[in-house]
Amino acid sequence: MHSNYVDCQNFVKDCENKSFLVELGASLFAEKNYNLVNISRDLNISYSNEKEINSEKNGGLGVWDGAEWKIRFVDGSSSSWYDGILGKAKMIWRYKMGLFSGKTLAFDLAEKFFHIYDYLNNDNHYLFVEDILSNLNLTWTVESTAKDFFLKKGVNENFVDEIIGGLVRNTYGQYVDKITAFGGLISLYSAVGEVYSSKNGNMNIFKEMLEVSKNVNLKLNSKVITVEKKTESGEFIVTTADNKTTVFDIVVVATPLNKVKFDNIALPIQQVEYVTVHTTIVIGKLNLNYFKLKDYKELPESILIPSSADCPFNSFSIKTWINGTDAAIVKFFSPKKLEKSLLEQIFVGTQQVYRRSIEAYPKLELKNLNKWKTPFQLTEGLFYVNGMEEWISTMETESLSGLNIVNYLKNKY
Ligand SMILES: Cc1cc2nc3c(=O)[nH]c(=O)nc-3n(C[C@H](O)[C@H](O)[C@H](O)COP(=O)(O)OP(=O)(O)OC[C@H]3O[C@@H](n4cnc5c(N)ncnc54)[C@H](O)[C@@H]3O)c2cc1C
């Protein structure tokens, strides 16, 4: 592993003598993400569908186009904004039946997708990522954009731009008219489905898994520089940044391909383009004028940005109000660094600002399956987990990709 810690993209900070946990990313998993749910249960890691931090909440949702509110409600609830009664009334008025048809389509997709467990849990394996799509009858999900798909299904256009588009910007930093139908449906599922977070951060799931795993030799601070294949023996020589080399019969690559140099290996695929996401966490007092509001109680806890809107950030969420003050902990995702001058407009005063940028996920764009397939085995003995990310990027799907490779190895050797 590259870093000196198990890298799970989250962040803990003491503030006002309290400890707050704000995950930088990968904060949610779904009820039927059986690998994550089962392992959490087996390892006694508690998870819940409450929001990341318990605190006084305004709840609710706003759709903000950078200048005006398209819809806004606060309901004081800590449950999902999708299901609150007040919100529902307002959303039906603006989005008509899109509210229900969108949800049905997201649940239909999830039902089809969850059949993957039947296949993999019976020790089967797929050769190509695209074989999963055809096996589950989901090829259509990468052959049409989310926008075309939802509009063809008769979903209200404002709903597609503002709610699905806003969720796509939040979840994948991408746009509803470019992302695949699958990317759009999964983004919507994060709002309509039951989703969980581990109480003390999802990183604990992976830390605990390492704790209980026997015969695992985890090498921290070991950045892999090259993987070279020896022509005669077929073995792999792995060289790390400290110039140490180790010989392996089988190598499983679990990073994007461009993180490692391959020698004497003709890769059958190219690295796909990744989206860079800037996460900014600010502790500060929000400037109500920026949001054209008069009272903090009017500000929704989650703000989505329509796909068509010109706004410097892709999402805004209040993680908690700091008790007894007007200050809040706010998390933004944005395509570029949020400059100090912008933060000075959004906040009256900032106490602390944390930033992290990450090559987050591949661009989930349309695929011509006749032209390009992504194999789980790149060459004899060299396996690739992250090919799955080109189709959909989540912790659970990465774990399924890992399971597929384990089955592949069991069946082959
Ligand atoms: C901002 C953000 C929000 C997200 N939200 C969610 C969410 O709510 N729910 C969800 O399920 N998913 C979410 N995801 C997606 C999820 O994080 C990824 O799908 C998942 O982390 C992919 O797992 P991975 O192990 O393939 O890659 P990573 O988690 O990226 O791990 C790759 C590891 O390889 C190491 N590495 C890289 N190069 C080298 C090298 N040369 N040598 C050695 N080690 C190396 C890295 O340090 C890292 O530890 C989010 C992602 C981001 C960025």
pLDDT digits (tens, 9 = 90+) for 33-71: 999 999 999 999 998 875 544 455 678 999 999 999 999
Strand order in the sheet with 47-48: 29-30, 195-198, 47-48
What would the DSSP string read from start to end of 125-191? --SBHHHHHHHTT-GGGGTSBHHHHHHHTT--HHIIIIIIHHHHHHHHS--TTTBBHHHHHHHHHHH
Does the C-beta of 170 come closer than 6 Å to ligand 1?
no
Output the furthest CA–CA distance in the chain (Å, rounded): 74
Distance CA 152, CA 148 (A): 6
Q: Say which range, 19-23, 201-205, 354-358, has the weakest mean pLDDT.
A: 19-23
> Residue 85 C-alpha to ligand 1 middle, in angstroms?
36
pLDDT digits (tens, 9 = 90+) for 100-115: 999 999 999 999 999 9
Residue 20: the pLDDT is: 72
Does the C-beta of 363 come closer than 6 Å to ligand 1?
no
pLDDT digits (tens, 9 = 90+) for 283-296: 999 999 999 999 99
Which residue's alpha carbon is at the smallest distance from atom 34 of ligand 1? 255
> Residue 130 C-alpha to ligand 1 middle, in angstroms?
21
Q: Residue 266 pLDDT more than 50? A: yes
Does the C-beta of 207 come closer than 6 Å to ligand 1?
no
State which of 9, 40, 276 you would mutate to test the pocket of ligand 1, scoring each by most atoms of that ligand within 8 A of its C-beta: 9
Ligand 1 atom with the smallest distance to the CA of 224 is: 42
pLDDT digits (tens, 9 = 90+) for 122-164: 999 999 999 999 999 999 999 999 999 999 999 999 999 999 9
Residue 34: phi and psi, rounded to 5, are -60, -35
The mean per-residue pLDDT over the stretch 389-405 comes to 95
Distance CA 321, CA 327 (A): 6
> Residue 134 C-alpha to ligand 1 middle, in angstroms?
26
Q: Residue 401 pLDDT more than 50? A: yes
State which of 398, 399, 400, 404 you would mutate to test the pocket of ligand 1, scoring each by most atoms of that ligand within 8 A of its C-beta: 398
Ligand 1 atom with the smallest distance to the CA of 254 is: 26
Does the C-beta of 393 come closer than 6 Å to ligand 1?
yes
What is the pTM assigned to this prediction? 0.94
Ligand 1 atom with the smallest distance to the CA of 333 is: 1
Residue 376: the pLDDT is: 97
Does the C-beta of 394 come closer than 6 Å to ligand 1?
yes
Distance CA 27, CA 198 (A): 8
Distance CA 172, CA 356 (A): 16
Q: Residue 12 pLDDT more than 90? A: no
